[in-house]
Structure 1
Amino acid sequence: MRRLCSVQQKIPCVFLTEVKEEASRKRDCQQFQVVATENVNPVAVEANIDCALATEKLDGTCCYVSLYQGQPYLWARLDRKPNKSAEKRFKKHQRSHKSSKDFMWNVEEDFKTVPETWIPAHRVKHHDGHPIPDENGHIPGWVPVEKSNKQYCWHSSVVDYEVRAALVLRPSSGEADVLEITAVPLAELQEQTLELIGTNVNGNPYGLGSKKQPVHCLVPHGVIPIPNLLPVDFQQISSWFQESPEGRVEGIVWHCNNGTLIKVHRHHLGLRWPDGDTCLANRPVVIRVDGKVEACSSSLFTSFLSLNGHFFSRLQDVNFES
C-alpha cells in the first residue's frame, strides 16, 4: 500500500485548531501559531479514527521513490518558494489578515526557478496549467537525487543505483519491538514516501552517528506503529506525550480504514520537541545488510555490511567500531 505524507496531501489535525497571535515555533516566517483546541475534528470522527492504525510521525526530511530515466530513483523534497518581492507581499498579507487566505499569487512571476527535473507533488492543485501554492506560500515538489548533486549528499548516502537498493529502517519481522536496518530494492519502495533521518538531518533528534561517522537511513511512512495508544482525547494524549516513555515521539499519524490520514504533533499542543531521549532512539535494532550489496560503491552500505547480523540494544548506539 502506498504511504502518503503531508507533502502529497494536506493532513488535518485530529483536533480542531485555532490561530494564536504569537510567532510560530515551527515556521520562522509565520507570525501566528496554529494550536489545537480540545474539540475532536469532525473529519477524524467521520473517518472512524478509533479504529485507525496509529503510527509514529518521524522527524526528518521527506523523500519519494519513483521512476527517473527508466529506473526507480530516490527523490528529495524541494518546495518551490516565492522570490523576495513576492515573499514580502505574502508576509505583509499574513500579518494584516492573521492568515494566508485570499492572497493572490502570480505563479509565473512570483516564484524562484527550480531544476528542470523538478516535479510538483501529488495532489498539488493546478490552475491554468500552473501548480497552486499551499497555505505557507510553497509549492511542494520533488527532484531526483543524483550523485553529482552535493546538496543531497546525505540522501545519496542511503541509496546505491548500481545495486538499485536503499538503506531502510523498519520493524524486524518476527521479533517484537526490534527494528532492523537492511538494504531494500528500490523497486520494492516504488511510489512510496519515506523519511530520511540521521546525523545531519533536522538536528538529529534520534542521536544517530557522529560527525566523524554519520549514520543515515530511510524509514517508510506508516511502518512504526504506536502500541497501547489511548483514545482520542486532548487531555489524555497531552499527558501521554509528556509522561509515557512511548510518547517521546514528535507526533502521531493515524491511518484510517477509508484512506484518510489524521495527525497531531507536539507543536499543536505547545509541547517541546525533542524533549530528552526519543522513543525511536531507544529501540533495539539488528543490522541485516548482507553480501548482495558487496559490489556497491557507497561507503555507508559497506560500513553496514561490516555489521551484518550485529545487534544493538539502542538505535542511537549504532556505530561502525563495534
Structure 2
Amino acid sequence: MRRLAAVQQKVPCVFLTEVKEEPSRKRHLQHFQVVATEKLNPRAEASHVQSSIATEKLDGTCCYVSSYQGRPCLWARLDRKPNKQADKRFKKFLQSHTSCKDFTWNIEEDFKSVPECWIPALGVQHQNGQPVPDDNGHIPGWVPVEKSSKQYCWHASAVNYDAGVALVLRPNTDNGDVLEIAAVPLSELLEQTLELIGTNINANPYGLGSKKRPVHLLVPHGALQISNPPPVNYSQLLRWFHDCEEAKVEGIVWHCLNGTLVKLHRHHLGLNWPNGAPFLNTRPVVISLSLALLDLDISSQDLFAAFSRLAGQSFDHIQDIHLET
C-alpha cells in the first residue's frame, strides 16, 4: 500500500479572497485574478496567525525528501490532472454551480495516467480508497527523482545519490544574516519539503547561473525567516510590500504553532512580481561545502564539484557566483 507523502494540498491565503474579472498578474493567459479582501481567513485566525513565524515565500517548484527503494530520495511535485473530456465536463459543471462539491469524478477513467511510483500528498482526501480531487480538479502528489531523470534533470542536478547529499541554500549557522550553499545529507532532510530555485525554474527571478552553466539549489521551507514582519493586517501588509527592502519577495508564508500554514502572494494585493532586485539577491553568501569530505571527484563537472572548487569563498550577492563552464 502506498503511503501518503508530507504536506497539505494547498496553502490558503491568510485573507479571504475574491475573484476579479481582470487578467492575472501571476498566470499568463488567465483572464481573472484572485485577490485578497481585508477580512482575515477564519482558519488563520483560529490558528493564531498573529503569533506565528513569518517566512519568505520563494518562487520555485516544491520538492519533498522521503525514502524510496530503501534510501532517502528527492521527490518532484506532480499533480494528477483530468483528461480533456473530464476537464471539459468539470468546467461546464462549474458554470452552473457555485461549488464543485457535488461534481462526480471517476478516478479510474477521468484522470491522466501517472507513473506507478506516484504517491498523493498528505491532506488529499480519500473516498472508497481513492484520492479525491481538490477544488481545481487536481490531485496533488509526488514522483521520485531518479539519478538519470531527463524530465526532472534540474531537480537531479541538486542531489548526489552516491554521496547521499543535497545542494542546499540556507542561512549560515554562525551568522543568520549570511546565506550559505552547503551539501546537506538527505537523511537530515527526511520528510521535509523544499523549494527548488534556479536557472530553468519559473523564469529564474533570482538570476542564478546561466544558460551555459545552469545552477539549481534547494531551499528548506521556512528557512528564510522575515526579521521584522508587519502585523497580519491588510493595510499594514500592503504598506510593507510597498516600502520595505525586505519585502521584495514573492510573498509570505506564516508557520502557525499548530502546524497550519497560510500565505500571502504579492498578486493577492494587486502587486507585480518580480519587482526589481529580489531581497534574496541582496544577502551575502558563503560556499560551505567540500567534496574532499564527501569522497567525490572534485574534477567532475556536476554542481557539487563546481561549488566545492569555491569552498570557503564569500560573495556579496548570490548572482555574483560564476561557475566554470
**TM score, norm. by length of structure 1:** 0.93
Alignment match, 1:300:
303
2:106 corresponds to 1:106: yes
- Could you tell me whether the CA contact under 8 Å between 1:31 and 1:94 is conserved in 2? no
- Tell me: CA distance 1:50–1:273, structure 2 relative to 1, closer, same or farther (3 Å): same
Alignment match, 1:67:
67
Following the alignment from structure 1 to structure 2, what is the Cα–Cα distance between the partners of residues 77 and 298? Answer: 27
Supply the AA of the counterpart residue of 2:260: T
Matches within 5 A, 1:145-224: 145-224=145-224
Matches within 5 A, 1:212-291: 212-290=212-290, 291=292
2:307 corresponds to 1:318: no
- Could you tell me whether the CA contact under 8 Å between 1:93 and 1:99 is conserved in 2? no
Following the alignment from structure 2 to structure 1, what is the Cα–Cα distance between the partners of residues 125 and 24? Answer: 26
Per-residue deviation, 1:25: 4.0
Following the alignment from structure 2 to structure 1, what is the Cα–Cα distance between the partners of residues 272 and 90? Answer: 28
Following the alignment from structure 1 to structure 2, what is the Cα–Cα distance between the partners of residues 104 and 266? Answer: 34
2:93 corresponds to 1:118: no
Supply the AA of the counterpart residue of 1:37: T
SS in 2 for 1:316: helix
SS in 1 for 2:263: strand
2:127 corresponds to 1:127: yes
SS in 2 for 1:104: coil
SS in 1 for 2:200: coil
Following the alignment from structure 1 to structure 2, what is the Cα–Cα distance between the partners of residues 298 and 163? Answer: 15
Following the alignment from structure 1 to structure 2, what is the Cα–Cα distance between the partners of residues 180 and 154? Answer: 20
Following the alignment from structure 1 to structure 2, what is the Cα–Cα distance between the partners of residues 147 and 302? Answer: 16
- Tell me: CA distance 1:309–1:137, structure 2 relative to 1, closer, same or farther (3 Å): same
Supply the AA of the counterpart residue of 1:192: Q
Matches within 5 A, 1:71-110: 71-97=71-97, 100-110=100-110
Q: In percent, how many aligned pairs have the same letter? A: 64
Supply the AA of the counterpart residue of 1:207: G
SS in 2 for 1:238: helix
Following the alignment from structure 1 to structure 2, what is the Cα–Cα distance between the partners of residues 53 and 172? Answer: 19
Kindly provide the CA deviation profile for residues 123-170 of structure 1, in whole angstroms up to 9, marking residues without a partner as x.
211111111111111111111100232000000001011000000000
- Tell me: CA distance 1:305–1:215, structure 2 relative to 1, closer, same or farther (3 Å): same
- Could you tell me whether the CA contact under 8 Å between 1:76 and 1:155 is conserved in 2? yes
Aligned residues: 318
Per-residue deviation, 1:46: 2.0
Kindly provide the CA deviation profile for residues 247-270 of structure 1, in whole angstroms up to 9, marking residues without a partner as x.
011110111112221211112111
For structure 1, the 5+ residue unaligned runs are: none
Kindly provide the CA deviation profile for residues 227-258 of structure 1, in whole angstroms up to 9, marking residues without a partner as x.
11111111111121122110011110111112
- 70-79 vs 81-90, greater mean Cα deviation: 81-90
Matches within 5 A, 1:31-50: 32-50=32-50
- 15-24 vs 303-312, greater mean Cα deviation: 15-24
Per-residue deviation, 1:26: 3.5
Per-residue deviation, 1:29: 7.9
Following the alignment from structure 2 to structure 1, what is the Cα–Cα distance between the partners of residues 145 and 301? Answer: 14
For structure 2, the 5+ residue unaligned runs are: none
- Could you tell me whether the CA contact under 8 Å between 1:293 and 1:301 is conserved in 2? no
Alignment match, 1:10:
10
Following the alignment from structure 2 to structure 1, what is the Cα–Cα distance between the partners of residues 164 and 102? Answer: 45
- Tell me: CA distance 1:92–1:28, structure 2 relative to 1, closer, same or farther (3 Å): farther
- Could you tell me whether the CA contact under 8 Å between 2:266 and 2:272 is conserved in 1? yes
Supply the AA of the counterpart residue of 2:256: C
Alignment match, 1:142:
142
Following the alignment from structure 1 to structure 2, what is the Cα–Cα distance between the partners of residues 203 and 164? Answer: 29
- Could you tell me whether the CA contact under 8 Å between 1:252 and 1:264 is conserved in 2? yes
Per-residue deviation, 1:45: 2.1
Kindly provide the CA deviation profile for residues 150-195 of structure 1, in whole angstroms up to 9, marking residues without a partner as x.
0000000010110000000000012141000000000000000000
- Could you tell me whether the CA contact under 8 Å between 2:25 and 2:272 is conserved in 1? no
Following the alignment from structure 2 to structure 1, what is the Cα–Cα distance between the partners of residues 174 and 95? Answer: 53
